[in-house]
Structure 1
Amino acid sequence: MKISQIKIKRAFDFVISILLLIVFFPVFFIVAIGIKVDGGPVFFLQDRIGEKGTTFRIIKFRTMVENAENLGEGLIVRNESDIRITAIGKVLRKTSLDELPQLINIIMGDMSIVGPRPPVTYHPYKGYENYPDWAKKRFEVKPGITGLAQVKVRNSATWSTRMKIDKQYVEKFSIWLDLKILILTIRAMFYKETYTGE
C-alpha cells in the first residue's frame, strides 16, 4: 500500500468530512431535536475495533431504544420492523442519516470515509487478538462509513464472507477503488442496488 495514496486518502477524508458537517449542520440539528423529543440520548456511542486493532468509540445517531443490544436478538436486526427501532430511527436508518456523526470520527482520525466496517469488540471474535491471521488483514487500514463489503453484500452475508471482501479491499486498495465505492454507495442509497463485480 503506497504511503502517498494513504496521505491523499487522509487529506480527502478530512476536507470532505469538514465540508459535509458544515453542509449538513441544519440536518444534524433537526435530527438531534427529533431524537431528543422521542426520548433518550441523541447519540449512540459504542466501542469498536479500528486500525491495527486499536479500540475507539464510534458515534452514531441513536435509532433504537436504550440498551437495545441487550434486548431481543442483541446485535441482530433482521428488518426495520424490529420493535427496538424508534419511530425517527426508522427514517434515519432508511436514509442512512444515522451515520452522519461518524464524520466526527473521521476528523478525529479514527475512521475513513471508505474502509471495512468496524466490528464491536466482542463480535464476531472477542478482541482483536482472537481474529484469525487472514482476517486481521482488514485492520491494516482505518475502518470506514462505507466499504467494498457494503456495496457488494451489505448486511446480507456472514461476517466471514464480509471479512474476505474486506481483505480483498485492502489488497487492491487505490484511490480509484475508493472513488468507485463512493459512487456505488450513493447509487445504492437511491436504488438499493448491490455491486456484483470485482
Structure 2
Amino acid sequence: MYMKIKRLIDIILSLIGLVALSPIFLILIIAIKLDSRGQVLFKQKRIGIHKNHFNILKFRTMRIDTPMDTPTHLLENPKQYITNMGRILRKTSLDELPQIWNIFVGQMSIIGPRPALWNQYDLIKERDLYGANDVPPGLTGWAQINGRDELPIKEKAKLDGEYVEKLSFWMDVKCFFGTILSVAKRDGVVEGGTGVRQEVSNAKVSNSSEK
C-alpha cells in the first residue's frame, strides 16, 4: 500500500521540483556550457527496479574524453577528468538535480538505494542478498546519509537492505532530512573514492602494528 503512496508523493514532489528549480537549472546549464566543451547532460546506464536498465541523468561534471562506463573510483587519477564547474556540482550534489526527471517518469524514487552502474556486478550481487534490487532506486537513501562514498560495497549493500526492511513513510522522511544535513555538511564526499572508511581503518591497524 505504501509503495502506491510513495509513487504519488514522487510524482507530486518531482513536478514541483522541476517547476520551482527551473531558474537554477538554467543558471547551471549556462555555467556548464561556458566552463567546458560537451553536452550539458550526462546519460549513464544504471540498474533500476528488478535489475532493469535505465539511463540516469546528471549534469556533466567530467571532460568529454573521460572513459565511458567506468566508476569514478576506478579511474586512474580521476581528478584530472573533473571540470572546474564539475567540482562545484559534485561538492554540492547539484549534478544530481536532473534525476528529478527520472523520478517524475517512474524510473527512480526520491528515496531508495542509489542506482548501481550496470557493470558494478559486486554491488548488484550484494544487494540481491538483501532484496535491495527489488525496490525503486533513489536520488538519495539510507546509505547516503550513513557514509556515502566512504562506504565499502558490503556495508553499503547492508545499509540498502536495512532501508528495504524498514521501508515506510517515516523512514523516507528520516532519509530526506538526513540528506539535507549531509549535503550541508558535505559528509562522505570523496572524489574518486569508495570504501575509504575501510581503507582508513586498515591503515590505522597497519600503523599500530609498526609501532
RMSD: 2.4
Deviation at 1:151, TM superposition (A): 0.2
Deviation at 1:94, TM superposition (A): 1.3
* Aligned partner of residue 149 in structure 1, secondary structure: coil
Structure 2: distance between partners of 1:81 and 1:109: 31
Q: TM-score when scaled to structure 2?
A: 0.81
**Amino acid in structure 1 at the alignment position of 2:31:** G
The count of residues paired between Structure 1 and Structure 2 equals 186
Structure 2: distance between partners of 1:162 and 1:68: 26
Residues 14 and 107 in structure 1, CA contact (< 8 A), matched pair in contact too: yes
Deviation at 1:68, TM superposition (A): 2.0
Deviation at 1:192, TM superposition (A): 3.3
Query: Which residue does the alignment assign to 1:141?
Result: 135
* Aligned partner of residue 57 in structure 1, secondary structure: strand
Which of 37, 41, 48 is 1:39 aligned to?
Answer: 37
**Amino acid in structure 1 at the alignment position of 2:13:** I
**Amino acid in structure 2 at the alignment position of 1:24:** L
Q: Does 1:14 align with 2:7?
A: no
Deviation at 1:135, TM superposition (A): 3.2
Structure 1: distance between partners of 2:158 and 2:117: 18
Gaps of 5+ in 2: 189-211
Residues 124 and 159 in structure 1, CA contact (< 8 A), matched pair in contact too: no
Gaps of 5+ in 1: none
Query: Which residue does the alignment assign to 1:165?
Result: 159
Give per-residue Cα distances to partners, 1:83-118, cap 9 Å, x unaligned.
211011111111111000000000110000000011
Q: How does 1:34-183 map to 2 (within 5 A)?
A: 34-37=31-34, 38-70=36-68, 75-76=72-73, 82-125=79-122, 131=125, 134-135=128-129, 137-183=131-177
Structure 2: distance between partners of 1:7 and 1:184: 23
* Aligned partner of residue 152 in structure 1, secondary structure: coil
Structure 1: distance between partners of 2:47 and 2:145: 21
Query: Which residue does the alignment assign to 2:204?
Result: none
Bigger shift: 170-179 or 153-162?
A: 153-162
Over 3 Å counting, the alpha-carbon distance change for 1:140 and 1:32 in structure 2 is same
Give per-residue Cα distances to partners, 1:40-79, cap 9 Å, x unaligned.
11011000011011000000000011242459x853179x
Structure 2: distance between partners of 1:193 and 1:105: 25
State percent identity of aligned pairs: 38
Deviation at 1:134, TM superposition (A): 4.2
* Aligned partner of residue 148 in structure 2, secondary structure: coil
- Structure 1 stretches of 4+ with a deviation exceeding 6 A read none
**Amino acid in structure 1 at the alignment position of 2:91:** K
Larger radius of gyration: 2
* Aligned partner of residue 143 in structure 2, secondary structure: helix
Residues 14 and 106 in structure 1, CA contact (< 8 A), matched pair in contact too: yes
Q: TM-score when scaled to structure 1?
A: 0.86
Residues 63 and 85 in structure 1, CA contact (< 8 A), matched pair in contact too: yes
